[in-house]
Amino acid sequence: MLFDNLAFAMGGAGGAGGAQGNPLGAFVPLILMFAIFYFLLIRPQQKKAKQHKEMINNLKIGDRIVTNGGIYGTIVRMKDQTVIVEIAEKVQVEMLRNTVADKAEAFEKLEKKGK
């Protein structure tokens, strides 16, 4: 009698191992977690990368920019993968286009809001 109750409590009473339910039910939490990660992390990051690429493709001579290092400058010449930026009078540096963070106007607007 004691062993019968113990076997039933462990799920071995019916000989089939107890009710197991739908095997796809175990994957539902994983699918929900992936959906949450996609909409909260992956999708916004892809959208931001697309906007950055579009901004880089639309750069032109005379644009004031800010680099990823925080240096402000003006584009004076452009090549395929690089831009030549004047950061001070008669001081020019050549840098990769991908190192341009944004146009300076966007950062200047943020600075004005903060004051």
Encode pLDDT of 14-23 as tens digits: 545 445 677 7
Residue extents of the structural domains in the chain = 25-58, 60-115
Phi, psi (rounded to 5 degrees) for 63:
-70, 135
104 Cβ contact partners less than 8 Å away, ≥ 6 residues apart: 64, 65, 66, 72
Q: Running DSSP on this structure, what letter comes out for residue 76?
A: E
In the prediction, which pLDDT does 26 show? Answer: 82
Phi, psi (rounded to 5 degrees) for 39:
-75, -25
Given a contact cutoff of 8 angstroms between Cβ atoms, the answer to whether 67 and 29 are in contact is: no
Report the distance separating Cα 62 and Cα 64, nearest Å.
Answer: 6
According to CATH, the topology of domain 60-115 is SH3 type barrels. (2.30.30)
- In this predicted model, what pLDDT tens digit does every residue of 55-96 receive, in sequence order? 999 999 999 999 999 999 999 999 999 999 999 999 999 999
pLDDT mean across residues, the chain: 84
The residue behind tokens 């991908």 is 98
- Please tell me which residue, 21 or 102, carries the higher pLDDT value: 102
3 Cβ contact partners less than 8 Å away, ≥ 6 residues apart: none
